[in-house]
Amino acid sequence: MKTGVPPLPGKKPLRPIKPAGVFLRLMKQKELLLMTIPLMALVIVFNYMPLYGWIMAIQDYKVVKGISGSPFVGADKFVQLFQDDQFYLVLRNTLVMGFLNLISGFIGAIVLALALNEIRVKWFKRTVQTITYIPHFVSWVVIANIAHMVLSPDGGLLNVLLQKVGLLESPFYFMAKEQWFWPIHTFLSFWKEVGWSSIIYLAVLSGINPDLYEAADVDGAGRLRKIWHISIPGLMPTAIILLTLSVGWIIQSGYESQFLLGNPIVLDYSEVLDLYAMRYSFQIGDYSIGAAISIFKSFVSILMVLSINYLARRTGSGRLI
């Protein structure tokens, strides 16, 4: 860093910077320090201090003794975790739901953006956009309430509809069927976020050079060909970057939605890593397992991002991160 005070006329330039010089410059920026240091302290406390809690994973953590007083047990807790059948079930649920969300959301957002981009009637386009953003701003509590009401066997809309059409004879308990949990969860996540995720793709589409479409018109290309040969290739770079960034999040498919939509009957399909960690910690009192799960999640997450990044570089799509 060679920025700083330009040398005053008649004085020698202040290089090389001595410790005292650094201090002086810091003092000159005291307003900026005042703006940032208290906030950085909060970041350290709330984002970095929990990392210190990771030590618990190699301890037999006891609440009364704290991290400094609890005995170290090495990898025991990880061994215990990896020997638990329930852990693999929960890991499966987390990965499957994360993957389903990723793919449905990715494809859905692109299709929605492409469709909206074809709409020439301004008010229609705007209305659809405004409506599809709504669920993004609403809490999962509200979404779960809606889901529960629509899917209710007791006069819920879907049941009424299916019975009227004749597809169902008696009310169906959607929320109490294990094999229905993943589809319901995926659909709700899709429904909640697809409009919002399409914003970025719409922005990219509106940035595509209109000359390309005109040239295609001259060549006699129809709507679909223009979408296929111009719009979709135009979206690809952004789509690949966003896909890569979200791959790391597959294992973080959230816990709010599963917490609110799940129930004891569908637990084998609804429980995810965080909820499992919570149950272990609060019900069984083993906080070390909770910390071990956090470490495992971060580790997998980073591993996924790095390997996708590596693959992308190898296949020549450019360095992404």
Partner 1 sequence: MRTNKHGTADFFINVVLYAGLALFGAMTVYPFLNLFAISFNDPLDTIRGGIYLLPRIWSLDNYSIIFSNDRLLGAFLLSIARTIAGTVLGILCTAMFAYALSLKEFMLRKAFNSALVFTLYINGGLIPTYLLIKNLHLMNNFLVYLLPLLVNAFFIIIMRSYFETLPSGLTESAKIDGAGHFQTLFRILLPVSLPVLATITLFVAVTHWNSWFDNYLYASRSPHLSLLQYELMKILLSAMNQSVAQQAHIGESTVSAVTPQAIRAAMTIVVTVPILVVYPFLQNYFIQGMTVGAMKE
The reply to whether 279 sits near partner 1 by the rule CB under 8 A is no
> Of these, 19, 155, 166, 210, which contacts partner 1 (CB under 8 A)?
155
| Residues from 172 through 231 that contact partner 1 (CB under 8 A) | 173, 175-176, 191, 195, 199-200, 203, 220, 222-224
User: In the complex with partner 1, which residue's Cβ is closer, 3 or 315?
Assistant: 3
Helix (H, G, I), strand (E, B) or coil at 174: helix
1 exposed, middle or buried (CB, 10 Å; 0-12, 13-18, 19+)?
exposed
First-residue to last-residue Cα distance in the chain: 24
In Å, how far are 7, 27, 28, 91, 150 from 16, measured between CA atoms? 12, 18, 18, 55, 70
* DSSP 8-state assignment for residue 167: S
Dist. CA 234–CA 46, nearest whole Å = 40
Tokens 């919002």 — which residue?
196
Sign of the alpha-carbon torsion through 68, 74, 75, 79: negative
What 8-state DSSP symbol labels residue 78?
A: H
Which residue in 92, 139, 215, 284 binds partner 1 (CB under 8 A)? 139
- The least CB distance from residue 274 to partner 1, in Å, is 5
Of 82-90, 154-162, 229-237, 311-319, the window that binds partner 1 (rule: CB under 8 A) is: 154-162
243 forms part of the interface with partner 1 (CB under 8 A): no
> Binding marks (x or -) toward partner 1, 52..91, rule CB under 8 A?
xxx-x---------x-------------------------
Minimum CB separation of residue 150 from partner 1 in Å reads 6
Q: How many residues sit in the footprint of partner 1 (CB under 8 A)?
A: 97
Angle at the Cα of 16 (from 12 to 21), degrees rounded to 5? 85
Binding mask 18-37 for partner 1 (x = CB under 8 A): ----x--xx--x-xxx-xx-
CB of 27 to partner 1, least distance (A): 11
